[in-house]
Chain A
Amino acid sequence: MLEELTDVPVLNKAYQSLEEIFGDFLLGATFEKKELSVRIKKDGLLSILRYLKSTVGFNALSDIIGLDNLRLGAEGAKRFSLLYQLYAFPGFVRIRLVLDVDENEPVPSVVPVFRSANWAEREIYDMFGIRFAGHPDLRRIYMPEEYEGHPLRKDFPLEGPNDGV
């Protein structure tokens, strides 16, 4: 489906330049329903984000999404996926970066590039227990501070570890 990328010139140009400059860090890309999602390596995260923000013009990080791939573990998938949703608002174009991480594997914080990542990363840490290296204030954001466990993990019981008390 990547051939249809030419329908969206801005995205096409962004993807071509990514391939050219960061080819070593790209693991693959899909284009579906006019949404481009690029799977990247952890080492390239900060430099790719910085490039997309300053040179290509993706000026907003709208959200970071966490996924628990617990049931895909048998197929060799890493435990978690992080989806970085970028948005360019002159032009209204979106791009998605996908980053696979293992349990207990720290991820570089992107707060130095996008300050809006601060609370998003705290939410990911709160709900999934993924640690972000270099985050200025990595505390829980939804659950009480003394809470134990990370509720959105697939192996977390719905009622909580102590039957909700």
Chain B
Amino acid sequence: MPGKRTPSNSGEGLTSDGGRHPFLLTKLDHLIAWSQKNSLWPFGSGLACCAIEMIATAAARFDISRFGMELFRASPRQADLFIVAGTVTNKMAPVIRRLWEQMADPKWVVAMGNCAVSGGPFPTYSVLQGVDNVIPVDVYIAGCPPTPQGLLHGLLTLQEKIARSHPTKAIFNADARRID
């Protein structure tokens, strides 16, 4: 039953209200997903030129903090969004995997730019042909490099994806870590 907020009960304490103070009815799934999607802390792993566009996205003009993502962390342990920005070489691949493993659940991965998506212009002996060979990717952003608008579009897409998720499943069913 939604509480009715009237002038008579608005400023008064819980005790004098007789149980008629306002409250919000929602699903726990929605509440958790809402808070997760609006406070993503990115781990910026700038590996190549894509890092420049990622930095531009964080700077004043494009201002990633409008979406609650301004806290770029230097440590994967404090982050929940892994932006793989740039070329992943075969030598770097085990490092990327390890950094991803160090991130605490729940965590998401954005493959930024053609190199991280598929190896891009480097079908060579030294370049990993897509970061999804070593870690699961939630959103792929094409471009060489993607513009800040492109990165923001990808991040908003990720927010939509998180909004559709059911985080409580991870609590009640340990096998289902998250569904897409």
Within 8 A of A (CB), among B100-131: 119, 123-129
**Please, how many angstroms separate the alpha-carbon atoms of A157 and B124 in the complex?**
9
Whether A158 contacts B90 by the Cβ 8 Å rule is no
Chain A residues, CB < 8 A from B129: 164-165
Chain B residues, CB < 8 A from A156: 125
Whether B125 contacts A159 by the Cβ 8 Å rule is yes
- Is residue B91 contacting chain A, with contact meaning CB distance below 8 A? yes
Chain B residues, CB < 8 A from A164: 90, 119, 123-125, 127-129
**Please, how many angstroms separate the alpha-carbon atoms of A164 and B126 in the complex?**
7
Whether A158 contacts B123 by the Cβ 8 Å rule is yes
**Please, how many angstroms separate the alpha-carbon atoms of A17 and B176 in the complex?**
79
Within 8 A of B (CB), among A110-165: 142-144, 149, 151, 156-161, 164-165
Chain B residues, CB < 8 A from A160: 124-126
CB-contact partner of B124 in A142, A149, A158, A165, under 8 A = A158
Most B CB within 10 A of own CB, among A149, A151, A156, A160: A160
**Please, how many angstroms separate the alpha-carbon atoms of A164 and B125 in the complex?**
5
Majority secondary structure, A binding face: loop
Chain A residues, CB < 8 A from B90: 144, 164
**Please, how many angstroms separate the alpha-carbon atoms of A144 and B91 in the complex?**
6
Chain A, interface residues (CB within 8 Å), range: 10 to 19
- Min distance, Cβ A74 to any Cβ of chain B, angstroms: 27
**Please, how many angstroms separate the alpha-carbon atoms of A160 and B89 in the complex?**
13
Nearest-neighbor residue (CB-CB) of B122 within chain A: A164
Whether A151 contacts B123 by the Cβ 8 Å rule is no
Chain B residues, CB < 8 A from A159: 123-125
Whether B91 contacts A158 by the Cβ 8 Å rule is no
**Please, how many angstroms separate the alpha-carbon atoms of A87 and B46 in the complex?**
36
- Min distance, Cβ B64 to any Cβ of chain A, angstroms: 33
Nearest-neighbor residue (CB-CB) of A145 within chain B: B91
Whether B126 contacts A143 by the Cβ 8 Å rule is yes
Most A CB within 10 A of own CB, among B119, B126, B129: B126
Nearest-neighbor residue (CB-CB) of B133 within chain A: A165
**Please, how many angstroms separate the alpha-carbon atoms of A149 and B129 in the complex?**
19
Chain A residues, CB < 8 A from B128: 164
**Please, how many angstroms separate the alpha-carbon atoms of A142 and B127 in the complex?**
12
Chain A residues, CB < 8 A from B126: 142-143, 151, 160
Most A CB within 10 A of own CB, among B124, B125, B129: B125
- Min distance, Cβ B116 to any Cβ of chain A, angstroms: 15
The 5 A-B residue pairs with the shortest CB-CB distance, nearest first, are: A160-B125, A144-B91, A151-B125, A164-B129, A158-B124
* B interface list, Cβ under 8 A from A: 90-91, 119, 123-129, 133
20 of the cross-chain contacts (CB-CB < 8 Å) are A142-B91, A142-B126, A143-B91, A144-B90, A144-B91, A151-B126, A158-B123, A158-B124, A159-B123, A159-B124, A159-B125, A161-B125, A164-B90, A164-B119, A164-B123, A164-B124, A164-B125, A164-B127, A165-B129, A165-B133
> Beyond the given A164-B127, A164-B128, could you list 4 further A-B residue pairs with CB under 8 A, ordered by the A residue number?
A142-B91, A158-B125, A159-B124, A164-B125
